[in-house]
Amino acid sequence: MNKWHTDERITGWLQILQIAVVEITGEKSAPILMPNAPLKSSTLTELHTRLERMMGASACRGVEIRIGQAAFHIFLSRMAEDFGFFLPEIKFLPVKRKIMAGLQLLAEEYLRLTGERMSVLETEDAYEVTIPPAVKEIPSIYTGCPLLIGFLKEYVIWAGGGKFYQILEKSCCVDGNRTCVFHIRKVPLD
């Protein structure tokens, strides 16, 4: 399904991030947050540092979640078809199976991009996404978890027929944990 080379995929994801930053922060702030330098893997850390300096830590997290949400919608229009999100065998699955299938597709992409396995487990009441650090010196490096929370939040809304699902970050590498763990409740919020 994904026919892109790794460099092209990374560039595609970074372009999605860049468009989402413009959409959420506006055209005046975006060049400060993401200067027109070549997009690279350290872009997340640089974006986080600039956002935090501009807005403060608590506002920064909220804005990053919104950027992640916007990024999902841009992903839908630019990459989702290549991932197989619109194939009938995925699109017409019952909601819970569709959510799990999409999470597994995203886990495969994470493996292609980083060489690390992202696990997606299904329990009786939740989906649990566990992500190992992409780099070993993780405690000093920003991991982009709020961006991923926003992305996952919009994904489960889309896959779940417009219903809202609670997503909790149970642990994070930045806090000294070995992995980042996200807990997505299976029952939508009313």
Contact between 147 and 180 under an 8 Å Cβ cutoff? The reply is no
Contact between 174 and 142 under an 8 Å Cβ cutoff? The reply is yes
Contact between 60 and 48 under an 8 Å Cβ cutoff? The reply is yes
* pTM over the 0.75 mark: yes
Q: pLDDT per position in the chain (190 positions), as tens?
A: 444 456 777 788 888 888 999 999 998 888 888 876 555 556 777 888 888 898 888 899 899 999 999 999 999 999 888 888 899 999 899 999 999 999 999 988 888 877 778 899 999 999 999 987 655 554 455 667 888 899 999 999 999 999 999 999 998 877 777 888 999 999 999 7
Q: Homologous superfamily of 6-185 in CATH?
A: H-NOX domain (3.90.1520.10)
CB atoms within 10 A of CB 8: 11
Q: Is residue 84 packed enough to be buried (19+ CB in 10 Å), middle (13-18) or exposed (0-12)?
A: middle
Amino acid at 52: E
Q: Count each helix (H run) and each strand (E run) in the chain, helices first.
A: 8, 4
